[in-house]
């Protein structure tokens, strides 16, 4: 009888130990599952942060660059005995180079501080309507210059009418140059021009702000 009780006690303790061990194993499995699930959730969260906030960071960076372009200090230039004024960024390098005996009566080259923007401001003295001049210039370029696209639209600057040319042309190095040019009709057959050239790989949308500011700075005194 005593031996039977001892056997039953041993069996009960053994079952208790097995139950404890089983519970511990189940607890470990649950903790492992929770940890694994947590890692998955964290990974998905980080991925969502990257995809969700990435564009926001990019937009904020672009916004800062837009603000920089809007606040960039401009220097005023005067030409043709004060009859023509315009402005360019103060940190751009400029070089005035006259043309003798031709239709171009004023010419100044410019290049940005980082050397990515090149162009010039010119005044032409021609005896033809601006629209005709634009059409003839395009026809002369067709077949000679490889254009990716070429767009022309009307433009008004301080009551003066003109045209905006937006095109991309192939260079001698087989890359493409993004170009913006504004032609403004003055009086007495004069045309006021600003040309803006940037390699497509270096193009930034905020450059349009600078281009627009330069155009809007034109003061034509007839």
d(CA 63, CA 59): 6
The per-type count for the chain, helices as H runs and strands as E runs, is 3, 10
Q: Which fold has domain 73-220?
A: Protein Transport Mog1p; Chain A (3.40.1000)
Place of tokens 């077949």: 143
List the single range of 9-23, 46-60, 107-121, 170-184 with lowest mean pLDDT. 46-60
pLDDT of residue 144: 80
Residue 24 has pLDDT above 90, yes or no: no
**Residue whose C-alpha is closest to residue 108's, from 123, 130, 125:** 123
Q: Which of 40, 38, 31, 121 is nearest to 74 (CA)?
A: 121
Quote the tokens at residue 34.
């929770």
* Residue 163 to residue 153: CA distance in whole angstroms: 6
Least confident of 48-57, 148-157, 174-183: 48-57
- Asked if residue 174 has pLDDT above 90, the reply is no
Residue 191 confidence (pLDDT): 94
User: How confident is the model over 110-163, as pLDDT tens digits?
Assistant: 999 999 999 999 999 988 889 998 988 888 887 788 999 999 999 998 889 999
Average pLDDT (8-29) is: 50
How high is the pLDDT of residue 181? 96
**Which tokens is 19 given?**
């139950």
Count CB neighbours of 142 within 10 A.
Answer: 9
pLDDT band at 99 (very low <50, low <70, confident <90, very high): confident
Span 94-120, mean pLDDT? Answer: 91
What is the pTM (predicted TM-score) of this model?
0.69
In this predicted model, what pLDDT tens digit does every residue of 54-91 receive, in sequence order? Answer: 444 454 456 666 677 677 889 999 999 999 999 999 99
Q: Is the pLDDT of residue 11 over 90?
A: no
Which residues have C-beta within 8 Å of that of residue 41, sequence separation ≥ 6? none
Helices 2-71 and 207-216, packing angle to 10 deg:
20
Distances in Å between the Cα of 136 and the Cα atoms of 2, 128, 131 are: 121, 11, 9
pLDDT exceeds 90 at position 30: no
């Amino acid at each position: 009888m005593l031996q039977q009780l001892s056997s039953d006690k041993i069996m009960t303790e053994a079952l208790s130990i097995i139950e404890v061990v089983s519970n511990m194993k189940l607890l470990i499995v649950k903790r492992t599952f929770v940890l694994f699930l947590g890692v998955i959730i964290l990974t998905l969260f980080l991925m969502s942060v990257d995809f969700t906030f990435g564009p926001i960071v990019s937009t904020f960076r672009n916004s800062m660059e837009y603000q920089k372009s809007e606040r960039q200090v401009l220097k005023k230039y005067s030409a043709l005995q004060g009859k023509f004024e315009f402005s360019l960024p103060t940190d751009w390098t400029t070089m005035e180079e006259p043309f003798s005996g031709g239709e171009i009566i004023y010419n100044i080259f410019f290049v940005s501080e980082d050397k990515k923007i090149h162009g010039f401001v010119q005044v032409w003295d021609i005896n033809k309507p601006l629209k005709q001049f634009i059409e003839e210039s395009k026809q002369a370029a067709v077949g000679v210059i490889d254009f990716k696209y070429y767009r022309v639209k009307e433009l008004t600057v301080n009551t003066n009418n003109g045209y905006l040319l937006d095109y991309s042309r192939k260079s001698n190095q087989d890359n493409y140059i993004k170009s913006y040019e504004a032609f403004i009709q003055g009086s007495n057959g004069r045309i006021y021009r600003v040309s803006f050239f940037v390699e497509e790989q270096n193009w930034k949308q905020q450059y349009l702000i600078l281009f627009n500011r330069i155009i809007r700075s034109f003061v034509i005194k007839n």
